[in-house]
Amino acid sequence: MQSSTFRLAFLVVLISVLLSLRDPSKGEPQNHAIHGISPPKLDLQPSLEYDFYRNSCPKAESIVRSSMAQIFAAHSDAPPALLRLLFHDCFIQGCDASILLDDSNESMNRSAEKLAIPNQTLKGFDKVGKIKEELEKACPGVVSCADILVLATRDGIVLAGGPFYPVLTGRRDSNQSYFQEAMDDIPKPDGNITQTLGLFTLRGFNERETVSLLGGHSIGKISCEFIQGRLFNFSGTGQPDPSIASDFLDEMRRNCQDSGNSSHGMASPPMVSRAMSELTLGMTYYQGLSSSVSSGSAFDTHYYQSLLQGRGLLFSDQQLMAEEKTERLVRAYASDDGSTFQMDFARSMMKMSSLSVLTGSQGQVRLNCSKMVSS
């Protein structure tokens, strides 16, 4: 009965995701457009399948769901950590779990992807490992780490109040890691709008998909190391970012004291970056909001409302207001009750989760997510 209910829910959401976008101002279908912006074309990897493990590991997805529920009960910060982990994995050579590989792997070149500077503050590796252990007990050597990360992230988003979206499965794990690609191609927190859109465009995302995906910043905290440059040494000037309103600057500085490090986070050595990430509390977009604006539930439009007020925490976030088309999207999402953002976010996450996957005989299925299977 539970399986039938889940399948029905899956089909209902899939149909709604593929066919339905709503105008936030009228609540009626509006030619699949929002303020003149065409919706993204959903481009799922055809080699993935619904319920791929139905024969080889029938309880795979329910094990992931129940494990995530237990993890979330003990660690409410797990969903944003996994969302960031998934993004950093999929953005570099596709969703292949390469981000999970350790630096050893019987190699001395220390070129593991997770060691790249943009990845050094990632968390959630232990959560994926815990779920993998449960699946190995049930179905040894069957469920890939890439599928676990995608499924666990989706389930975490739902637990955090975000939208459910269908996840097709059948991914395989990479047998290599991509250190240099991660160094070069992960969008930077201090990147301008041209740089950010350019990196997303290279992976097939248009402006609307990009703006909706960045709305994932509405959950979790942003480590102070990522914004200290704006507060104390913007672009090496020794001064704060002049675009930050004085009252907001004071507010952010109260939350993120100057560490005394001259590089102020953005160019910190790896050990300094990691220490700062662990020792500072960071800020959420709740803190970035005026007290006169209701933030509502965690996964709502408060991220976009913050940008309208010039209170974006990351420079790259606030840069969404620097280009006409992305500004229009920010205003559209901010004026909505959250339904259009959640629908667009769901569509974009389906696309993100299917980027350049390995299937069939490609790659491998790891027994331990941090270690490649020896040939």
Is residue 94 part of an annotated ligand binding site? yes
Cα 139 to chain centroid, rounded: 28
Residues 357 and 158: their CA atoms lie apart, in Å, by 23
Residue 191 identity: G
Q: Which of 32, 35, 75, 88 is catalytic?
A: 88
Contact 317, 291 (CB under 8 A): no
Tokens 């890939």 belong to 144
Is residue 96 part of an annotated ligand binding site? yes
Query: What angle do the packed helices 78-90 and 339-352 form, to 10 degrees?
Result: 50
Q: Nearest-CA neighbor of 164 among 173, 153, 172?
A: 153
Residue 15's Cβ-count burial label (10 Å; 0-12, 13-18, 19+) is exposed
Alpha-helical regions (H) of 280-369: 302-308, 315-318, 324-334, 339-352
Question: Does 88 participate in catalysis according to the annotation?
Answer: yes
Contact 42, 15 (CB under 8 A): no
Is residue 89 part of an annotated ligand binding site? yes
Is residue 103 part of an annotated ligand binding site? no
Annotated catalytic residues are 88
Known binding residues for heme b: 217
Known binding residues for substrate: 187
Known binding residues: 89, 94, 96, 98, 113, 187, 217, 300
